[in-house]
Amino acid sequence: MQGKAGNSVVIICLIVFAMTVSALWIGNRSFEYNEGETYPVISKFNLDESFQVGSVAKVHGEVQGVYLRANGMLIYNIKSTDGLKISVMLWPGLGELEKVNQGDELEVTGTLGKYKENLQIEPLSKESIVILKKGDQESSTDVVKLGQVRDHLGKFITIGPVKVQNVKTFTSNAGKTHLKFQVYQSNYVTDALMWEGNWTKEDEQQAKSGKEFYIRAKVSEFNNRISLEIERLEVK
């Protein structure tokens, strides 16, 4: 199709495209989830009968950690009052979000999922994340250099990129096995620890791989030396 007829068809196509894409955009913006709909609240007690991958459910809990991946994926690790741990996966497509800190209490409505035996929930929209109560612990999702961690004493921060050395496990007097290592960046070296329950064999292997990581950790002090309580290791 060439010439005038072709030009006319192109103009018609552009008009149809503009109108339909605008209608879709308006439809997206004005879309609201049915407020009358009740979704099951997932807890440790009803996990077996209520947890179904792909179904919609609610989760209540306190934020244990906030983690930002390099590609913009934000993760809130939350723990419900009955001890259920679940990660809230916030894809960057959700847009800008209200700042959430460690200790905040959240209610999230979303689609349930599972990755490597870890429970996950993807919020339906950013409006599906409701901050029920603000916690007192301040947390930052900005990436901090290892040399600046002392400024964040007592807080949860993301540090990186760092490398890991001297990876060892040790068993405490209480019989718990923790993962101990050192993280370094340029000339800075700091002791780090992953408490039992927070690390897996895979974390240990990752730590020994020689790769660079972003780490999410609470900055604490032990024997007048900075020590990092690592919550999560993420390969750069």
Partner 1 sequence: MEIILIFIFIMLGFLTGAVTGLVPGIHVNTIAALMVGVSAFLLNSFEISPIAIAVYIASTAITHSFFDYVPSLFLGVPNDEVFALLPGQKMVREGRGLEALQLSVLGSWNGLLYSLFTIAVILSISYLTLAPTQGSGSANNLVALLESAIRPYLFWILLVTSLVLIITERKKVWALTIFILSGLFGLVVFASPLVPGGSSAAFSALFPALTGLFGVSGLLLSLTEKNSELPFQEDKYSIGLKKSEVYMATARGTAAGMAVGLLPGLGGANAATLLFIIEEKLSKRREVNNGENYIVTTSAINTSDTLFGIAALYLIAKSRSGASVAIDQLLEEEITFWVFLPIVGALVLAGFFAKETLSNKKCGRLCTKIISSLKYKPLSVSMIAFMSLLVFFTTGFWGLLILICATALGMISPIINVRRAQAMGFFLVPVMLYFSGQQRWVTTALALDSKSSLPVYVEVKQIAIYFLISLAMGVFTYVVTSGFLTGKDRI
Q: Find residue 2's DSSP bridge partners.
A: none
CA 217, CA 209: separation in Å to the nearest integer? 20
The residue among 126 and 168 lying less far from partner 1, judged by its C-beta, is 126
Site string (190-229) toward partner 1, x via CB under 8 A: -----------xx--x------------------------
CA 95, CA 126: separation in Å to the nearest integer? 8
Q: Which of residues 112-171 bind partner 1 (CB under 8 A)?
A: 116, 122-126
Q: What is the DSSP letter of 82?
A: T
CA 69, CA 216: separation in Å to the nearest integer? 10
For 93, left (φ over 0), alpha (ψ -120 to 50), or beta?
alpha
- Among 4, 28, 224, 225, contact with partner 1 (rule: CB under 8 A): 28
With CA atoms as reference, report the closest residue to 234 among 180, 144, 155, 159: 159
Min dist. Cβ of residue 81 to partner 1 (A): 26
- Among 44, 45, 47, 55, contact with partner 1 (rule: CB under 8 A): 55
31 part of the interface to partner 1, by CB under 8 A: yes
17 part of the interface to partner 1, by CB under 8 A: yes
16 part of the interface to partner 1, by CB under 8 A: yes
Instruction: Give the distance, in angstroms, between the CA of residue 67 and the centroid of all CA atoms in the same chain.
Output: 5
The residue among 107 and 122 lying less far from partner 1, judged by its C-beta, is 122
The residue among 17 and 45 lying less far from partner 1, judged by its C-beta, is 17
Alpha carbon distances (Å) from 130 to 14, 177, 187: 40, 36, 42
Min dist. Cβ of residue 192 to partner 1 (A): 22
The stretch near partner 1 (CB under 8 A) out of 24-32, 41-49, 146-154, 162-170 is 24-32
The residue among 10 and 132 lying less far from partner 1, judged by its C-beta, is 10
Min dist. Cβ of residue 213 to partner 1 (A): 13
> Is the Cβ–Cβ distance between 97 and 129 less than 8 Å?
yes
Q: How many CA atoms lie within 13 A of 64 on its CB side?
A: 18
Count of residues interacting with partner 1 (CB under 8 A): 46
Q: If 0-12 CB within 10 Å is exposed, 13-18 middle and 19+ buried, where does residue 151 land?
A: exposed
95 part of the interface to partner 1, by CB under 8 A: yes
Residues of the shown chain interacting with partner 1 in the complex, contacts defined by CB under 8 A: 1, 6, 9-10, 12-14, 16-17, 20-21, 23-25, 27-29, 31, 33, 53-56, 70-72, 91-97, 110-111, 116, 122-126, 201-202, 205, 235-236
